[in-house]
Amino acid sequence: MTAVPRRLFGISAALTTPFDENGNVDNSALSKHASNLLQQGCASVTLGGTTGEGPSLSIDEKISAHMALTKAGIAPETIVFAVMETALPTAIAAARKALDLGSKYLLVAPPFYFKGTSERAVVDWFRHFLNAIADKPAKVILYNIPQMTAAPMTPDMVGVLLKAFPDFISGVKDSSGDWENTKALLEQFKELDILIGDERLLAPGIQLGGAGAISGVANFRPDLLIPLLDKHDPAPQLSPMVNLLLEYPVTAAVKSLVGHLTRNTDWRRIRAPLAPLDQAQYDILTSKYDGLFTNGTPND
């Protein structure tokens, strides 16, 4: 495989969201977690994405979390703000507020409730969205995660939006897990930051010019991902670890491992309709994880 020059976006931790005993977002714990990850070498943190249970958070909660992060000393330009809304007015309002607070990157998922919509209709949704924030200095990352949205962001759709909004479309996060799709994006859009959602594909993606990743694994093992940006071979534990996560509901599994490595069971709290791993699942997951490594690596 011939390596091509890489673009630099880096590793963004797809922040998992801590909740307190009353089910509210624990902004203090979130701020500490985000600060730790940035200190460990993450280039940014992503707020309110899939791993962060974004669709289960209100806009007010996400904006409050953003403000808490910056109050804790986190530079707002290092906060990627996820927009995962079906209603255009809500998506636009959330994006504009995040940009006003200093975020420069938006991770934007397609509208996902109504199924069977055409590619043209989804592109039209994005046109309305982008026109409504056109007065802001935004960098928009299109989010392809069809297993969740049932609305893929195909290379053709990316091309249409890039042609119409070249100053706003900055990248694509491909969480499809489909290497052929990722490779097509890398080959067709060398001017964009192509971000790898499946950590097992990060090393080959970087070889083809990938710009980095927005990663759930970075919540607890950014040290396994950051070296890949310099085209180092992946640690032998990386793929087995991701495969292990995929044996469980991923968000609950990520939270379980964050809690395991920080020795803080509060991280296991999750918001309905998602559910935490039961004790047997937790014990098996953490035991298998520990078996992959000689020692755990706490985040604090």
Residues in the annotated binding site for pyruvate: 51, 214
DSSP-assigned beta bridge partners for residue 44: 12
Looking from the CA of 177 toward its CB, the CA atoms found within 13 Å total: 7
Q: Which residues are catalytic?
A: 143, 173
What are the residues whose beta carbons fall under 8 Å from the beta carbon of 234, sequence distance 6 or more? 202, 203, 224, 228
Distances in whole angstroms, Cα of residue 93 to Cα of each of 65, 98, 173:
16, 9, 22
Q: In this structure, what DSSP letter does residue 139 have?
A: E
Token pair 């690596």 is at which residue? Answer: 297
Residues placed in the known binding site: 51, 214
Question: What does the alpha-carbon distance between residue 277 and residue 250 come to, in Å, rounded to a whole number?
Answer: 10
Question: What does the alpha-carbon distance between residue 133 and residue 162 come to, in Å, rounded to a whole number?
Answer: 15
